[in-house]
Amino acid sequence: MRIYVHIGPDGPSTDRIQRVLDAKRGRLKDENVLYARSPGARNHTRLFMAVSDPDRADVLRFNRGVMLPEKQQMLRDELANQLAQEVARDTPQVLILSAQQLGTSLCDRSALDRLRALLAPLSDDIRIVAWLDEPARALVSRYGAQVLDGRARGLDLELNLADVDDFWEAAMDTRPDTAPLDGMFPEVQGANFWLDYKRLQSEWEAVFGAGSVQFRSINRDTLWSEDATDEICAAFGIDAQIGKAEAEELPRLPSAPWLTRARQFNDAVLRLLDRQDVLLPRPLWRKLLGEIKVPGGPILAGSLSALSMRFEDDIAALCAEHPAMHPDDMEADPICGDWVEADPTRGFRATQYLMAFRWRIAQGDKDERAARAAELAHLKGEPLDLPDAPALTESAEDALPARAKQNFVRLHGSPYAPHNKLGRVNEEELAAAFAPAPRRVLPQGSTGNVIVGCMKNEGPYILEWIAYHRAVGFDNFLIYTNGCSDGTTEILDRLQELGVLQHRDNNGWSGKSPQQHALDAALDEPVIQQAQWIAHIDVDEFVNIRCGNGTLAEVFDRVPDATNIAMTWRLFGHNGVRRFEDRLVIQQFDTCAPKYCPKPHTVWGFKTLFRNIGAYEKISCHRPNKLAEGFEDKVKWVNGSGRDMTEAALRNGWRSSKRTIGYDLIQLNHYALRSAESFLIKRQRGRALHVDRNIGLNYWIRMDWSVHRDITIKRNIPRVRAEYDRLLRDDALRAAHHRALEWHRAKAAELHGMPEFADLYRQALALDLTETERVAYALALDMET
């Protein structure tokens, strides 16, 4: 097996390559090529964190709670084991690993030695791949990323090194000592040593062998087009065709005035951290930088011509040495004068903004100290006075595998430990019932607020779901079905006859999944084309509006300029309900996941409610995709609390993060299991999107959250019941509904008699886990996380 290690160092091209590799995993696997999951879902940051300097925590390890050497060692051992398992399972001929930080942050041979030692048990055939840009252009891109990570020095830091004999060593001399409490990380504050590409090659080849490094130039016209797969196949020695890539727009660089503001603000922050005992969480720091953003043109690479000329001969020599480095791609931008830092505009003063943010920094300081007690004690050389990690419950002691038990210990006191202390909504006391909201009168040619969804054997749940969403302000529904045998199609056909929704047969689906086939077809439907707002949700998902009178209009009034609203899942467990019953879902199930639960990755998944303005060309499972040209500045994403998250979600992403999570205005109640018997039926039915993945005990572990209570949706029960009863007055609809109920009762009885399902039922009900135990177990079982 040959291992290719892609080390960046260019950020935008690395991100693009990783997205294409991720999208083509299946095709790559068919050709015996493994793009590993265990080092990271897409960007293999765990690989970088496992081999960086144990005694000098980098910003990534600090942010991820892996700062302590013993935690890094645990990560390294775990990753080595997981990589070995992936390789043993798939037996690939080629293994691809990719992390930009390997090229931009590993600066000494001891780190490269650790990387080689980690990979050597898998194969001794290791090749290094780097996509390079002309040095001035590369610096412009990297400088923007550094500033948004806290850099306080301007571009003169690198420009002043243009005339030195040894650029690499001079750049290394600018790197400050690591001081996490003071916000000092050398890879953020220091000059970019790796711009010396010749030295970069020699350092890596000193460890991995002469000729092991392959440099390739970045051709933007190719790499961001559908032909990106050709470039990727050539780089990684893949002879087969893996299909075209999805073309993307070139990423936009941050504006020069914003970077000036951000750099000046960083300088003020670093001075504050240096003279006062204050901790500023990195996510909050970055959020504050986002709030001082202003428009403007980017820094021009032509203003850094001194660097271009400094490396001109090196670039020519490397182009001659590496066939995939093309001189045209590496040509410098036209000279446009010497770099001068841009005006921050509007009389910006960093210290004024810092003072305005002090109350938020103070709160962040309090939260950071609570979350990082172990790291703080280590940095200060103090003994750590923390209570021991709680013992596992009896159920968990018996059920959790060894790795899950290790995860449980690591989660204790970490930034990933789940808890429910988030947001302002009281979820455990039932407020007054919402008043009925009159049906909207839509303007001519408008279909209003529309849900598009897919169903398979969901008969008993349809009427409640329709009644609920009509009650909260949805006007129309477009429902696709395939493979139904429980009466779902008959119920939907009757609702269509009554003018409640539109039903489409999706049995002839093709492609990756019936769901995506339906969503593609929906774009041609007038009910979608004429909609004001659109949401794609499933019948086990309920839009829970937690403000005003609980209707969509209340949300829209609070975020009038939003075009996209991320409705983060709240996962509801089976709540001790074993048998399938003819009762409202929103009445039966009220125990759920904690609001703060960054892992596993599914807990903070979101679906999107989006304004139909043509901003995106495609509807996908979680969100609209393929941003249309000219809409970059016309789209505003907000989270479930109404806070701006455009930067994080504009082009991709389907889950909330610690920076973007919010539930105060709206959330998506996700009843993935319902009762234990309903789970068995779902297990047999399969999934609409991931048709190649089974629903088994792992799915139950990830979805059965039954510790915390959230009864906010129950305020809707009176108005939902009124609409539900109105629908049931139709004789044909009532008869079809009852036939579906009987089908599900019979199916549950049938599955109880099958050993495979009876065993699954028994195993699922035997698991009684705390929230932290569930996270630990899910992380151990789910390689994607």
3-state secondary structure 686-730: CCCCCCCCCCCHHHHHHHCCCCEECCHHHHHHHHHHHHHHHHHCC
- Domain assignment of residue 509, yes or no: yes
Q: Kindly indicate the confidence band of residue 691, based on its pLDDT and cuts at 50, 70 and 90.
A: very low
> Once rounded to an integer, what is the mean pLDDT over residues 565-585?
97
Number of H helices, E strands in the chain: 36, 18
Q: Are 648 and 659 in contact (CB under 8 A)?
A: yes
How confident is the model over 409-432, as pLDDT tens digits?
A: 888 877 889 999 999 999 999 999
Whether the Cβ atoms of residue 639 and residue 566 lie closer than 8 Å to each other: yes
Read off the tokens for 425.
Answer: 């909504």
pTM, full prediction: 0.72
What is the helix (H) or strand (E) element at residue 760, kind and residue range? helix 755-766
Least confident of 4-13, 62-71, 517-526: 62-71
pLDDT tens, residue by residue, 167-202: 999 999 999 999 988 889 999 999 999 999 999 999
676 token code pair: 């234990």
Pure H helices in 120-255? 135-147, 156-159, 167-173, 186-189, 197-208, 220-223, 228-235
Residues sharing a CB contact under 8 Å with residue 353, sequence separation 6 or more, in sequence order: 265, 288, 292
Residue 24 has φ and ψ, to the nearest 5°, of -105, 20
Is residue 277 one of the residues assigned to a domain?
A: no
pLDDT at site 593:
97
For tokens 């890094």, the residue is 72
Q: Is residue 665 part of a domain?
A: yes
Question: How far apart are alpha carbons 339 and 336 in whole angstroms?
Answer: 8
* Cis upstream peptide for 718 (omega within 30°): no
In a domain, 212, yes or no: no
Contact (Cβ atoms closer than 8 angstroms) between residue 689 and residue 511 = no
| Percent of the chain scoring above 70 in pLDDT | 96
Asked if residue 341 is part of any domain, the answer here is no
Q: What is the pLDDT of residues 736-755, one digit of tens each?
A: 999 999 999 999 999 999 99
Which 8-state DSSP code applies to residue 460? G
Range of the domain at 455: 448-781
Domain count, the chain: 1
Planar angle of CA 174, 180, 184, nearest 5 degrees: 25
Distant-in-sequence, close-in-space partners of 449: CB < 8 Å, separation ≥ 6 = 473, 474, 475, 476, 531, 532, 533, 534, 535, 552
* β-strand pairing of 564-571 with 606-611: antiparallel
Where is pLDDT greater, at 780 or 643? 643
The percent of the chain in helix, strand and coil, each rounded to the nearest 5, is 45, 15, 40
Query: What is the average pLDDT across 37-59?
Result: 93
Could you tell me the pLDDT band of residue 686, with boundaries at 50, 70 and 90? low
Query: Does the pLDDT at position 688 exceed 60?
Result: no
Helix (H) or strand (E) holding 126: strand 125-132
Return the H-helix or E-strand segment holding 571.
Answer: strand 564-571
**Plot region of 487 (φ>0 → left; ψ -120 to 50 → alpha; else → beta):** left
Match 């991320």 to its residue by tokens.
566
Which of 113, 104, 83, 106 lies closest to 95 in space, CA to CA? 83
Apex CA 62: angle with CA 71 and CA 292, to 5°? 160
Task: Print burial letters for 578-598: b (CB count within 10 Å at least 16), e (below 16).
Answer: eebbeebbbebbbbbbbbbbb
Q: Which of 59-68, 201-210, 416-425 has the highest mean pLDDT?
A: 201-210
- H-helix segments, 559-709: 585-588, 646-649, 676-685, 697-703
Q: DSSP labels for 341-382?
A: PPP--TT--HHHHHHHTHHHHHHHHHHHHHHTHHHHHHHHT-
In a domain, 63, yes or no: no
pLDDT of residue 684: 81
238-280 pLDDT, tens digit per residue, is 999 999 999 998 999 999 999 999 999 999 999 999 887 788 9
Cα torsion 691, 692, 697, 699 to 10°: value is -50
| pLDDT(784) > 60 | no
Q: Scanning the structure block, which residue is given the tokens 């909330």?
A: 656
What's the average model confidence in pLDDT over 291-319? 97
Report the C-alpha gap between 480 and 482 in whole angstroms.
7
Residue 782: pLDDT over 70: no
Q: What is the pLDDT of residue 276?
A: 74
Is the torsion defined by CA of 304, 306, 311, 316 positive or negative?
A: positive
| Per-residue model confidence (pLDDT) at position 64 | 82
Residue 66 has pLDDT above 90, yes or no: no
Q: What is the pLDDT of residue 363?
A: 87
The span from the CA of 519 to the CA of 58, in Å, is: 43
Nearest to 777 by CA among 471, 411, 280, 245: 411
- Containing 606, the helix (H) or strand (E) segment is strand 606-611
One-letter amino acid of 144: G
In terms of residues, how long is the chain?
785
Angle at which helices 717-728 and 731-752 cross, to 10°? 110
pLDDT band at 385 (very low <50, low <70, confident <90, very high): low
Residue 203 falls inside a structural domain: no
